[in-house]
């Protein structure tokens, strides 16, 4: 596994990539691979890996449990500074594929960057609004005049906070104030110290806080947030055209890994320590495994079906038109895009049949036996 320096992005750089990506940058040495031929892919991870989430449940497990090798794939990792930068890496040819926020994919498409979404990952809305247990804030409308802690102003956190306020009938530009507080201990300190009145974070980040013994109270998300999609696999049109077989094999390995992780999050977490030893923060695995497995499982719940039998589920990665339309509407409301995006240009689900062509029972059996 290769780790490259983290990639950042500016608005000007992103706009310029529309021209670059149209020319089809990047190495296509593994293009037009025959089915089953050895191939390499570069994966842009949309963050530094400082807490267990999608990189562990998909890539790390796929590597350690042999799902990538079964598909004759070598995958190298590039870390980036968020979903926009991950899309930049894909558009410039520095990476072949990323799991990025759907809003960032939509925004890139509106700017003329020919990226395509090819498979969903997070299917259950992960963002929540949290307050201290004794907070006077009881309903979403009570956020009027309050300060809300967000991860950073460049993350999906302020987008959610503004949409949440608007959904509550507030003026998001005037009635709330957003303050970057990061995640983990930094975010908790801001909340407990009264620097902010509420936090707008994703489920897994809250689990990390609750692992310290801290109690939080959550405000309800309305039905308006039901069905909005988050992390989604994306590539350029050129990569999709040239590497259909390779991408299908990659998605199949990732969805196998996700199913394995859902069945045995502790074994998945141990795989994560192998791929990303920085997660141990200098401690022994046995000292961290309980809390980290709980944190990883919180992320996994956002990426697996909320109901039904995993053994019979054969729609990994599927996103309906209704879900896309709701996601587009949310992204417009948040100001990330200004107009509707043509789904035929944005979304290609042609690889999902092959990506779901695996023995779920065998994956589940392996996961149950793993230590």
pLDDT at site 270:
98
Q: CATH number of 127-225: 3.40.50.300, 3.40.190.10, 3.30.420.10, 3.40.50.150? A: 3.40.190.10
> Domain locations in the chain?
3-124+229-369, 127-225
Q: Indicate if 127-225 has the same CATH topology as 3-124+229-369.
A: yes
pLDDT at site 16:
46
How does strand 146-150 pair with strand 97-101? unpaired
Interior angle at CA 345, CA 341 and CA 348, nearest 5: 120
pLDDT at site 363:
97
Please tell me whether residue 249 adopts helix, strand or coil conformation. Answer: helix
Is the full-model pTM beyond 0.75? yes
pLDDT at site 334:
79
pLDDT at site 80:
87
* Residue 309 burial (CB count, 10 A): 8
pLDDT at site 35:
60
Q: At what angle do helices 244-263 and 360-369 cross, to 10 degrees?
A: 50
Distance CA 272, CA 259 (A): 15
CATH number of 3-124+229-369: 3.40.190.10
Residues in the chain predicted with pLDDT less than 70, given as ranges, are 1-35, 311
Strands, sheet with 3-7, edge to edge from the N-terminal-most edge strand: 3-7, 73-80, 39-45, 97-101, 231-236, 115-120
Alpha carbon of 237 to those of 25, 90, 279, 371: distances in Å? Answer: 11, 11, 34, 40
* Residue 266 burial (CB count, 10 A): 17
**Number of Cα atoms under 13 Å in the Cβ half of residue 288:** 20
pLDDT at site 313:
86
């Amino acid at each position: 596994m290769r780790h490259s320096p983290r990639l950042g992005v500016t608005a000007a750089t992103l706009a310029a990539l529309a021209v670059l990506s149209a020319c089809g940058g990047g190495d296509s040495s593994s293009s037009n691979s025959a089915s089953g031929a050895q191939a390499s892919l570069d994966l842009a991870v949309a963050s530094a890996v400082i807490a267990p989430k999608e990189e562990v449940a998909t890539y790390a497990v796929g590597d350690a449990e042999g799902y990538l090798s079964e598909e004759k794939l070598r995958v190298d990792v590039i870390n980036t500074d968020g979903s926009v930068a991950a899309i930049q890496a894909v558009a410039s040819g520095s990476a072949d594929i990323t799991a990025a926020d759907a809003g960032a994919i939509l925004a890139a498409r509106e700017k003329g960057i020919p990226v395509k979404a090819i498979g969903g990952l997070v299917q259950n809305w992960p963002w929540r609004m949290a307050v201290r247990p004794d907070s006077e804030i009881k309903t979403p409308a009570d956020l009027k005049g309050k300060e809300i802690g967000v991860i950073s102003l460049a993350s999906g956190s302020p987008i959610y906070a503004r949409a949440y306020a608007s959904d509550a009938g507030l003026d998001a530009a005037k009635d709330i104030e957003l303050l970057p507080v990061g995640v983990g201990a930094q975010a908790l300190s801001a909340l407990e110290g009264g620097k902010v009145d509420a936090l707008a974070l994703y489920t897994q980040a809250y689990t990390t806080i609750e692992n310290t013994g801290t109690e939080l109270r959550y405000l309800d998300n309305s039905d308006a947030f039901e069905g909005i999609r988050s992390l989604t696999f994306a590539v350029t049109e050129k990569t999709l055209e040239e590497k259909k077989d390779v991408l299908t094999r990659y998605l199949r390995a990732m969805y196998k890994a996700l199913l394995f992780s859902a069945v045995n999050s502790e074994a998945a977490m141990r795989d994560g320590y192998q791929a990303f030893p920085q997660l141990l923060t200098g401690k022994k695995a046995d000292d961290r495994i309980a809390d980290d497995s709980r944190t990883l499982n919180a992320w996994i719940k956002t990426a697996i079906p909320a109901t039904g039998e995993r053994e019979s589920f054969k729609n990994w990665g599927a996103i309906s038109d209704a879900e896309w339309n709701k996601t587009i509407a949310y992204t417009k409301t948040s100001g990330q895009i200004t107009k509707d995006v043509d789904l035929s240009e944005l979304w290609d689900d042609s690889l999902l049949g092959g990506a779901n062509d695996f023995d779920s029972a065998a994956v589940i059996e392996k996961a149950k036996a793993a230590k």
